[in-house]
Structure 1
């Protein structure tokens, strides 16, 4: 009698991408915002009827008088956030990335970015972090927003990045957009003597054979892949770039100066994200060289369980290690 195959299943909407047994922190964004609000009375929170699914409910419950439920009206939410910033408050406005970027772009651009107001937009379910299909998979949010003047863009790797980024974003003049990892978020970067610094990349591990330049949750995958490849005597460096804009061109130029294989890793479309940021950085500096992009394809993605989708579209650790081995 054959052994039945174990099916990979997750809740399609808010599935965790944490590995079994991995250390996690619960709602790091919500917890960090509460800590910040205790120190700063000017911090307020807004939600477009998604507080529970963006961890804004933690702030709502702690500071109900400083929380504004705007309903399913993302344009109104960002317009209201702009008004709150105009009178000296520091709003954090949370919704799904697809709604903040596709649906409310004009309000973010003209109400917030053009006057350079201190509004912090927090987008949940970035890239392929939900199995609900194209209506909720924000695979092109970085491409949409990279061209917006005055806007700072952050793509955190884990709970450490998020907890440290929140106060940094509040202290930054002008608008910000952060891709949110919500729920039980893995804790990884505390093992690498890491401190989040806005606009700066961090070399998490050195390596002579391969340079992985990664952002967001793919930094976690890069570190895991590097450990696996080490067993095959392949020495992999990992450069984490949590800030997409402004981009740390100096770090990229420094680390790509040798002859190592350069691989970019991102939870985003291959169009308009990290791979193109690295490529343009090198091209503008007169550095012509090949880059191997690990990214989502330029297409609308399928619905399904996250582990299956990450394997299918090349974001899993198995897929990353196989890709690197094939390129060497």
Structure 2
């Protein structure tokens, strides 16, 4: 299989750099931490602008309420904690005091997906997109690499309303070209093809590009459509690649239930039905382990994307 070229810096490191830039340049920006500042890298603000850093402790529900109160006073709070804690422990507060009144709160789901440095399955988040995209007024973004994360954060700073951004712990493959510009609500075609469309997001985009390169060696032509904004979804782009190829495989570092795969399947069922298969974590409880072991065990490595593409082509 083709190998991924990992970036030198991780998403969490770039998050730490960008949130510090925003805290410096925007008087409205404040950083809220759930006792994980060293892990999420929001400690950059604590070290240089302690007056703009609020340590909320392991009390995520309270932290979300405080953020809503700050937003109601014209500030822009940025919350950073593990995605598993943010989206599940404080869901009621997110729904009632942030999403419903459309408060200008930015939520960073760190350590998203499977790969969390063996911190354990209680710290893994493969349901967060499904949870957050179900909430009215919530924007959901899953950047493909560090460059896109930086642009997504800059967009979120300008956007008025709640935004959830997935951030990976470890270095990821560079997926987007240098000249790429993030556009909220828009997907981007990273590779042309004619036989199948691989629709992907977040950390899985690099693996999907790797799979497409392997498929090309076998004479299979695959579009790779990267979907950084899962909500609002670029419905037109999804329909267009389905019409172009007649078969779709979705790929994400998330459960196959309710995430990108679910959103794509819903869209195509309503607008342009074609065969669809989903690459992601099946409906099972996951375990902790090394990155490569987890990606292979739960069917997320590039070879599993290749396998799903061959399977859908037989259905097509």
Equivalent residue pairs, number: 308
2:304 pairs with one of 311, 319, 323 = 319
1:298 pairs with one of 283, 286, 295 = 283
Q: Deviations over 1:47-77 (max 9, x none)?
A: 1001111121122223221111111111111
- CA deviation after TM superposition for structure 1 residue 304, in Å: 1.5
Contact preservation (8 Å) 1:158, 1:181: no
- CA deviation after TM superposition for structure 1 residue 159, in Å: 0.2
C-alpha distance in structure 2 between counterparts of 1:263 and 1:20, whole Å:
20
Which residue of the partner structure matches residue 115 of structure 1? 101
CA shift in 2, pair 1:60/1:184, >3 Å: farther
C-alpha distance in structure 2 between counterparts of 1:162 and 1:62, whole Å:
22
C-alpha distance in structure 2 between counterparts of 1:199 and 1:35, whole Å:
24
Contact preservation (8 Å) 1:198, 1:243: yes
Q: Deviations over 1:116-151 (max 9, x none)?
A: 110001111222122444311111111222211111
Q: Deviations over 1:269-309 (max 9, x none)?
A: 11111111011111222x22210110111111122212111
1:86 pairs with one of 72, 90, 113 = 72
Contact preservation (8 Å) 1:24, 1:186: no
Q: Deviations over 1:24-52 (max 9, x none)?
A: 22511111112222321111111100111
Contact preservation (8 Å) 1:54, 1:94: yes
C-alpha distance in structure 2 between counterparts of 1:235 and 1:256, whole Å:
14
SS in 1 for 2:159: coil
What is the RMSD of the two structures over their aligned residues, measured on CA atoms?
A: 1.7
Spell out the pairing of 1:70-109 with structure 2 (5 A cutoff): 70-109=56-95
C-alpha distance in structure 1 between counterparts of 2:80 and 2:245, whole Å:
42
SS in 2 for 1:256: helix
Spell out the pairing of 1:20-99 with structure 2 (5 A cutoff): 22-26=6-10, 27-99=13-85
Which residues of structure 1 form unaligned runs of 5+? 1-18
C-alpha distance in structure 2 between counterparts of 1:212 and 1:178, whole Å:
22
Contact preservation (8 Å) 1:24, 1:159: no
Which residue of the partner structure matches residue 15 of structure 1? none
CA shift in 2, pair 1:72/1:106, >3 Å: same
C-alpha distance in structure 2 between counterparts of 1:154 and 1:77, whole Å:
21
Instruction: Pick which of 316-325 and 94-103 moved more.
Output: 316-325
C-alpha distance in structure 2 between counterparts of 1:280 and 1:185, whole Å:
29
SS in 1 for 2:81: strand
Which residue of the partner structure matches residue 144 of structure 2? 157
Contact preservation (8 Å) 2:106, 2:156: yes
C-alpha distance in structure 2 between counterparts of 1:63 and 1:100, whole Å:
24
SS in 2 for 1:53: helix
C-alpha distance in structure 1 between counterparts of 2:84 and 2:95, whole Å:
15
Spell out the pairing of 1:3-18 with structure 2 (5 A cutoff): none
Find out whether 1:168 has 2:152 as its counterpart. Answer: no
Which residue of the partner structure matches residue 282 of structure 1? 268
C-alpha distance in structure 2 between counterparts of 1:164 and 1:308, whole Å:
31
